[in-house]
Amino acid sequence: MSKTAIIIGGGIGGLFTGAILSRCGIRSVVLEKNAIIGGGLQCFRRKNRIFETGMHVMGGFEDGGTLRRICKWLGILDSLNIHHIDGDCMDEIRYHRSGETFRIPSGREAFVERISEYFPDEAHGIKEYVDELYRLTEEVPLFYLREQPAGITMHSEKFTWAADRLIAYYVSDPRLRELLAWLNPLYGGVEGHTPAYIHALINVLYINGASRFIDGSQQLADALRRVIEEGGGGVLAGQEVTHIDVADRVAKGVVTATGQRFEGDWYISSVHPLEMLRMVPQGTFLKGFVRRLNEIPDSYSAFSLFISLKPDRLPYIDHTCYYMEDFGEMWTQDRFDPADWPKGFMYMTPPDARQGEYATRLLVHCIMSYDEVKRWETTRVGRRGEDYEVWKQDCVDRIVAKLGNIFPEFSDMIEDIYAASPLTIRDYYNTRNGAIFGYRKDCENLIFSQLPVYTKVGNLLLTGQNINLHGICGVPLTAVNTAEAILGINTIVNQINNAQDS
Ligand SMILES: Cc1cc2nc3c(=O)[nH]c(=O)nc-3n(C[C@H](O)[C@H](O)[C@H](O)COP(=O)(O)OP(=O)(O)OC[C@H]3O[C@@H](n4cnc5c(N)ncnc54)[C@H](O)[C@@H]3O)c2cc1C
């Protein structure tokens, strides 16, 4: 216990990095600005109902799955209450205008078989496409918790293609091309820009099996906090870091808004890199790096509904649902047109501990461009003004009307509705433009949006969704990367693998 890491940001990245380091004997102190820890894992409670904010569907928890193995090694797996979604239909995509519904199963073979039943003329291309997805993931050893090879990693040409180009290479029916991009909202897919490898990682992650937390994702944040505390450290809520003290390219301490100073051997920023830039003295980083951090484009934002349902009205649905108004709009959902927003959305019923036949809550996420709320961007939570409240109510009404296309008399099923806009996301996570997945990865300039965990300040490292990949798989894997930057390459991966073997 001779070394200490100070971690800025108590979201998924900060907590996983802190827990991994704690498990390896490095005391970790995590500083979180919000009153409740967890970032994307945080849940809020209204009238005794729990709502998840940024973690609804997860991959990697099936037998042998990456997340399962990491959590097992951390000693928290048994404390997590996880429900594996119905394998015969993990996702359902409904096209309103044509009246068609596609039910996607989990499992590689089942997936190929079912999609081929829907599009028999494309069966050969579908099989080749899925083989290619799995092959592309083999180019990312960390995805399977394999050792990182020494030296420069070479990638195949298709790895850096645009995701839509990869799909179009294997199948020709425009409806199928679009259907195969149904997970776009889970990685912020943008036509011509989102790299094929990200599409492959997310698709394979979910095709291998999807899960949900029973009674909310806060339990994972709390379990990680316990690991950090057992290692002699702590997770402190209500501690917004305002300054990182840097001299001669060495971080010396951090100061929080409460005036407290924390010192350690290592400093890890698990907040948006632009937020980190605000904390360091001017001149800490080269101008080119600062410009780059400012110029990397953002992923899109979202408008969310958290609906509390009246008892015994809406049956519980054991899969994630995607509603699309029509074909041809899967890649253009972020282009906001007030006349026909929303073009589509994702919705789901989270499970309770004693889940019966009926759901108690419904969550809805609609992709939305930050431009739509720009006119209120100088306002803060609770004080955004009457015109904002009117606009927000109009958004709620539009989504509820479309839910009425799916569930007749849906309005009558509602007990309460709470809504969050891109501004809520921006202010809650401190993420520019309310970008749900942070920086956007772009196949047109991959290196530009790919940040290393190291910085020019020797003992200041980066982690979190902006560095590699977002979400329940990407962020913990980057935490492994960041911890290995301190402990040595492949040390954590080997420990995790050895623990499974023993
Ligand atoms: C609406 C929505 C739905 C999502 N659904 C899913 C899903 O179903 N599955 C999935 O895998 N992913 C999902 N995601 C993505 C996932 O939530 C993120 O990828 C993940 O939370 C990113 O983790 P992180 O640690 O990088 O950032 P966060 O979890 O955002 O953590 C950053 C933390 O830093 C804190 N912070 C910021 N500034 C400071 C400061 N100055 N001092 C101290 N603390 C600070 C923030 O308060 C926050 O707690 C969703 C995201 C959103 C927004």
pLDDT of residue 332: 83
Taking CA 224 as the corner, what is the angle to CA 220 and CA 225, rounded to the nearest 5 degrees? 115
Residue of 184, 347, 429 best suited for mutating to test ligand 1, as the one with most atoms within 8 Å of CB: 429
Whether 20 has a pLDDT exceeding 80, the answer reads yes
The pLDDT tens digits of the residues spanning 87-102 come to 999 999 999 999 999 9
Q: What is the DSSP letter of 96?
A: T
Ranges of each domain in the chain: 4-81+216-296+440-501, 106-208, 300-434
**For residue 254, what pLDDT is reported?**
98
CA distance 237 to 351: 27
Are 80 and 213 contacting, i.e. CB atoms less than 8 angstroms apart?
yes
The pLDDT mean for the chain works out to 95
Q: Compute, in angstroms, the gap from residue 53 CA to the centroid of ligand 1.
A: 9
Q: Are 502 and 42 in contact (CB under 8 A)?
A: no
Protein residue with its CA nearest to atom 35 in ligand 1: 9
Q: Looking at residue 474, what is its pLDDT?
A: 96
**Ligand 1 center to residue 429 CA distance, Å?**
6
What is the CB-side half-sphere exposure of residue 309 using CA atoms within 13 A? Answer: 23
298 closest CA partner among 272, 279, 321, 276: 272
Choice from 15, 31, 32 to test ligand 1 binding pocket (greatest atom count within 8 A of CB): 32
CA–CA distance, 269 with 272 (Å, rounded to integer): 8
Instruction: Report the pocket of ligand 1 as residue ranges, CB < 6 Å.
Output: 8-14, 31-34, 39-40, 54-58, 240-241, 270-271, 275, 302, 304, 365, 425, 429-430, 436-437, 464-465, 470-472, 475
- From residue 413, give the alpha-carbon distance in Å to each of 11, 308, 314: 33, 9, 7
Integer Cα distance of 443 and 165 in angstroms: 11
Distance of CA 468 from the midpoint of ligand 1 (Å): 14
The CA 4 to ligand 1 mean position distance, Å, reads 24
Nearest CA to ligand 1 atom 18: 471
Q: In this predicted model, what pLDDT tens digit does every residue of 52-90 receive, in sequence order?
A: 999 999 999 999 999 999 999 999 999 999 999 989 999
Each residue's pLDDT tens digit, 143-193:
999 998 877 778 999 999 999 999 999 999 999 999 999 999 999 999 999
CA distance 432 to 269: 16
Q: Does domain 4-81+216-296+440-501 have CATH number 3.50.50.60?
A: yes
Residue 336 has pLDDT above 90, yes or no: no
Look at ligand 1, atom 4, and give the residue with the nearest C-alpha: 54
Give ∠ CA 53-56-61 in degrees, rounded to 5. Answer: 135
- Cα(404) to centroid of ligand 1, in Å? 31
Distances 206 to 55, 104, 406, 446 between C-alpha atoms, Å: 14, 10, 24, 24
Cα 130 from Cα 111, distance rounded (Å): 9
Closest residue (by CA) to atom 46 of ligand 1? 429
Alpha helices in 102-191 (DSSP H): 108-118, 123-137, 163-170, 174-179, 184-187
**What does 179-207 look like in DSSP terms, one character per residue?**
HTTTTHHHHT--TTTSBHHHHHHHHHHHH
Res 502 pLDDT > 60 = no
**C-beta separation of 56 from 43 below 8 A:** no
pLDDT attached to residue 331: 87
Query: Whose CA is closest to 40, among 441, 425, 303?
Result: 425
- State the distance from the centre of ligand 1 to the C-alpha of 117, rounded, in angstroms: 38
Residue 236 pairs in a beta bridge with: 31
Q: What is the pTM of this model?
A: 0.97
pLDDT band at 337 (very low <50, low <70, confident <90, very high): confident
- Give 273-326 pLDDT, tens digit per residue: 999 999 999 999 999 999 999 999 999 999 999 999 999 999 999 999 999 999
Distance (angstroms) between ligand 1 centre and the Cα of 459 equals: 24
Residue 1: its pLDDT value, please? 52
In angstroms, the Cα distances linking 322 to 30, 111, 390 are 36, 17, 27
In this prediction, residue 501 has a pLDDT band, given cuts at 50, 70 and 90, of low
Protein residue whose Cα sits closest to atom 2 of ligand 1: 54
- CA-wise closest residue to 349 among 46, 60, 62, 51: 51
Other beta carbons within 10 angstroms of residue 293's beta carbon come to: 18
Report residue 117 as tokens.
């039943």
For the segment 205-212, the average pLDDT, to the nearest whole number, is: 97
